[in-house]
Structure 1
Amino acid sequence: MGGKKSKSEAPPPPLLSNPWRTINWGRRQDALQYVTDYKPQTEGQQLRILLHGQTGAGKSSFINSVQSVLLGRMYSHALVDNTSHDTFTKKYTTYKIQIGSSDAFYPFVFNDIMGLDPKKGVSVEDVKLALKGHVKEGYKFNPESRLSEDDPFYNKSPTANDKVHVLVCVIDANTVTSMSDSILHKIRDIRTEASQLGIPQVAIFTKPDEVCAEIKADIKNVYKARSLKEKMERFSANMGIPMNCIFPVKNYHNEIDLNDDVDSLILNALRNIINFGHDCINFSKSSKR
């Protein structure tokens, strides 16, 4: 009787009354300056960020979006394929970002790898080797076998710059709840290896505008959307990645001009990724003393 819900009871509204996470939408320039000013404590140190995740989640698009924001114009260095559901990234590739029109580059780099797929995706063992710095630039991933130690693309003596300092799992927010058990197991396996190596992990939720019409109408609703928050919470519970390490980001896709609010989400995620990587570098150095 008293505890029964009425059949005609209306569902909760799609937007929360208040955002569950605050972001300074009007302070894009401050966030950009923070990233631009970042310098590792050691001269020549390079912060390496490795992206992995399901095929088609937007790993390459995230790299392009970051480069677009930092360069102040649309940029497409990491190749993206919109015509196939197959993974487009075949080789281990490092992306450096030029600082303005100078000959200098930002002290952080991105590595893109073949997507995780139940049958044809990157070998989990190859991802683990990449985390340790054993994979050389240009290595062509083979879903059937891992990189062997006698292969010319195997780096036998990785330096501190070769090793990964932040592992970023890129997730399609629109399909996160329908990912296969096989993909989820691979993500957990890679995350476990990263944890044992002391590498911090971040998750990027792409395509949030496809989850909620209110986000599509106004990207500022991203931290008010009930459905997106629930998806992030579910992923956090399944993978063990804390909510404060999960960031929704809208990659540039159809746009031909930059948008301050889209930039703000990208820069917010990038700033946190840099901070986590910086802490990883410093911890590694202090633990060797």
Structure 2
Amino acid sequence: MAKSGRSTHFWNNEETELMLGHLKELGILRFIDGRKTRNGDLFKKVQEHMARAGYKRTAEQIRIRWKHLKQAYYRARRKEHHTDAPAAGPCPFSGVMEELLGSQPPISGVKSEDTSEEEASYTLPIFNPPGHMSTLNPQLSINQQRTICSRLGGVRLNLLYKASVHGFTAEDFHEQCDNLAPTVSVGYNASGYVFGGYTRQPFCQSGEYVNDNQAFLFTFSGEKLCTFPPSNAACAVKMDSNSGPYFGEALVLVSGSNPIAYSDPGGYYPFNPVKMHGNDLDLTECEVYQLEGTTEPEKPWRTVIWESDMRRELMESIQSYEPTVSSISQARVLLIGPVGAGKSSFFNSVNSVFRGHVTSQAISGSSTTSLTTQFRSYSVKAGRGGKPLPILLCDTMGLEESKGAGLDIDDISSVLKGHLPDYYQFNPSAPLHSEAQCYRKSPDHKDKIHCVVYVIDACKISIMTPQLQEKLDAIRRKVNLMGIPQLVLLTRIDEACPLVKEDLRNVYKSLYIKNLMQEVSSRLGMPMSCVVPVKNYSEELELDMNCDILLLSAITQMLRFVDNYFDELSDRLNCPTELC
């Protein structure tokens, strides 16, 4: 059956077999001399056949795929003929490749423009079929490979270029890597740092910047992957003919065809050079891996029903919720988090779900300092002019790492206890004192916070600073002492994981998202069951059912935790005075 025409750099088994079948039908042996002028017509015909079957492949992509399969085949044949040859992985599609090339004698001494080294001499192994890297030994550890694969959606790594084998020059890099994507480029130095970058864009030598909003730089801290997204996606990668992998003027591996890296953190990719590479720019090795063949996602480790009926049930359940304490009509949930984590955006997203269209009531956006400067209690209404829902989302100023900036911890205590009025203007250098005119001295239970939610950006967990961590720990201790239940809202999950960006329903199939949830759970000292991933509306104009279900599920979980608080409160209110 014809597949969708969605273009992808991954080759699955079905389309590879289809390509080989067409090459066999068209008589590839008649074109085996490697002349590109003759081969070009052949690959264009295969391209047309594959397009009719629903596969969008260029003639150049087909030529490269064929070239790689030939290399794997000849390497396997070399092993058969030379017992002292390096161990080689099995040749993929060995049956049909034997039919196509088995009658061909080894080519020696002459290397045409499109002839691989395996074909020409049977001596230099320069290609590894997907899943088999034994010929070119990767320097990335198995755990590091797994971490990268998990981060990028369960793919496999195919080692294309190894500088110590192919050469520490731009020409060698481009010969092995041009027109192939997505790729992970990795640099190694004598100080033991492993660092590099990822891009979905195929390398070329145009001299231009290319847009890639999924690109990122990374470094390993032990086996932990720390990532740094671009500040300007339009200039994420530069296609430079005189250098190796070139990430937006921020990091270049094999700079000027020398075994060195170029590093300039700041405008393109903000990162700490000491953390990235220890300020050691002399490379001992550089590798480029291509991502191959996405594996099937694992079975979801949390159950979610992605259906419109579930969306309706969740909305009805939230609308009909009633606090178990009669004096309280609306549960008050406090949103706390770093600047830009998505607190205000979360309210706007939930409000959008119940309004029936994307809206933006609370001020939100991107800034280095908090856009929220007032304490606000937002009421969500069931439609335009509808009845307020039984939950209030309380928005606060964003947390900042430096002292005297962002939300003050003393103000948080006043919020939790119900002393701060709505529209209170935060002053980071002077928290509200008890003698202030607006200070609510005798708050009721309805004025207090019934659940605290920490809003954390999934893309920034690994680079959370110690100062910010300390502030969150201090807040957690205060909240714990007051017996208020707590949750974590993990935002921007689509930006953190390509598998989730492709389909939001993969959120609980993504090992990378699960690892992020485990990390934030560990950092905040909260169980995994208290971590809830969501995607806020940001660039969309229309609602998405799957996005709504995650948002509504988060609100439902908040109300369940609020019930725990109300149960404790009811016990205290009903407790005889002499026992309390």
Question: Are the aligned partners of 2:349 and 2:537 in contact in 1 as well (CA < 8 Å)?
Answer: yes
**Hey, what's the Cα distance between the residues in 2 that align with 1:108 and 1:74?**
20
Question: Equivalent residue for 2:371?
Answer: 88
Q: Distance in 1 between matches of 2:500 and 2:298?
A: 14
Letter in 1 for 2:318: V
1:6-17 equivalence runs, <5 A: 7-8=137-138, 11=146, 12=149, 14-15=153-154, 16-17=297-298
Offset at 1:186?
1.0
2: CA distance, partners of 1:227 / 1:241 = 19
Per the TM alignment, residue 102 of structure 1 is displaced from its structure 2 partner at its CA by 4.8
Say yes or no: does 1:271 pair with 2:556. Answer: yes
Matched, 1:29 2:306: no
- Do residues 68 (structure 1) and 352 (structure 2) align? yes
Contact kept, 8 Å, 1:48 with 1:165, in 2: the verdict is yes
CA–CA separation in structure 2 for the residues paired with 1:264 and 1:98: 18
Rounded to whole Å, the distance in 2 between the matches of 1:65 and 1:100 is 13
Aligned to 1:241: 526
Aligned to 1:20: 301
Structure 2 alignment gaps of length 5 or more:
1-133, 155-296, 575-580
Residue matched to 2:162: none
Could you list the structure 1 runs, at least 4 aligned residues long, displaced by more than 6 angstroms after superposition: none
- The one-letter code of the counterpart of 2:339 is T
Alignment counterpart, residue 341 of structure 2, candidates 54, 57, 67: 57
Query: 1:185-204 to 2 correspondence within 5 Å?
Result: 185-204=470-489
In structure 1, the residue matched to 2:571 is 286
1:153 shift after superposition: 2.4
Q: Secondary structure at the match of 2:336?
A: strand
Deviations 1:15-51 (A, max 9, x none): 4521111111112111111111111232653210000
In the TM superposition, 1:136-175 aligns within 5 A as 136-175=421-460
Pair 1:178–1:250, CA change in 2 (3 A): same
Q: Deviations over 1:30-81 (max 9, x none)?
A: 1111111111232653210000100000000000001111222212111113
Counterpart contact for 2:401–2:471, Cα < 8 Å: no
Secondary structure, counterpart of 1:177 in structure 2: coil
Moved more, 214-223 or 279-288: 279-288
- 2:538 is matched with 253
Distance 1:285 1:44 in 2: 11
Distance 2:518 2:386 in 1: 42
Q: What displacement does 1:133 show?
A: 0.7
What is the distance in 1 between the residues matched to 2:306 and 2:374?
36
Tell me the number of residue pairs that the alignment of Structure 1 and Structure 2 aligns: 284
Match of 1:48 in 2: 332
* Larger mean Cα displacement after TM superposition, 139-148 or 12-21: 12-21
Q: SS of 1:137's equivalent?
A: coil
Cα shift at 1:103: 5.2
Return 173-182 or 70-79, whichever deviates more.
70-79
TM-score (norm 2): 0.47
Q: Determine the C-alpha separation between the residues in 1 that align with 2:306 and 2:568.
A: 32
Q: Is contact 1:137-1:153 (8 Å) kept? A: no
Partner Cα separation in structure 2 for residue 263 and residue 281 of structure 1: 27
Q: Distance in 1 between matches of 2:532 and 2:312?
A: 19
Q: Deviations over 1:137-187 (max 9, x none)?
A: 121111112211111221111111110001000000000111111111111
Structure 1 residue 235: Cα displacement:
1.3
Using the TM superposition, give the Cα deviation of residue 194 of structure 1 relative to its aligned residue in structure 2, in angstroms.
1.1
Determine the C-alpha separation between the residues in 2 that align with 1:221 and 1:178.
Answer: 24
- How far off its partner does 1:93 sit? 0.8
Partner AA of 1:89 in structure 2: T
Rounded to whole Å, the distance in 2 between the matches of 1:43 and 1:156 is 19
Q: Which residue of 1 aligns with 2:508?
A: 223
Aligned counterpart, 2:363: 79
- Find out whether 1:211 has 2:500 as its counterpart: no
Residues 200-240 of structure 1 deviation map (CA, whole Å, 9 limit, x = unaligned): 00000000011111111111111111111111101111211
Higher CA-based Rg? 2
For the residues of structure 2 that align with 1:221 and 1:107, how far apart are their CA atoms? 31
Q: Distance in 2 between matches of 1:142 and 1:267?
A: 33
Structure with more relative contact order (C-alpha pairs < 8 Å, separation 6 or more) = 1
Is the CA contact (8 Å cut-off) linking 2:298 and 2:510 kept in structure 1? no
Which structure shows the higher strand fraction? 2
Q: Is the 8 A contact 2:301 2:509 kept in 1?
A: yes
| SS in structure 1 of the partner of residue 445 of structure 2 | coil
Q: What amino acid is the match of 1:28? A: R
Please tell me the residue identity of whatever aligns with 1:266: L
Q: Percent identity?
A: 35
- CA distance in structure 1 between the partners assigned to 2:480 and 2:533 by the alignment: 22
Q: Tell me the equivalent position of 1:3.
A: none
State the TM-score, normalizing by the size of structure 1.
0.93
Give the aligned partner of residue 113 of structure 1.
396
Distance 1:103 1:251 in 2: 23
CA distance in structure 2 between the partners assigned to 1:181 and 1:262 by the alignment: 32
Residue 195 of structure 1 deviates from its aligned partner by 1.2
Residues of 2 paired with 1:208 and 1:98: CA distance? 26
Alignment counterpart, residue 38 of structure 1, candidates 306, 321, 336: 321
**Letter aligned with residue 265 of structure 1:** L
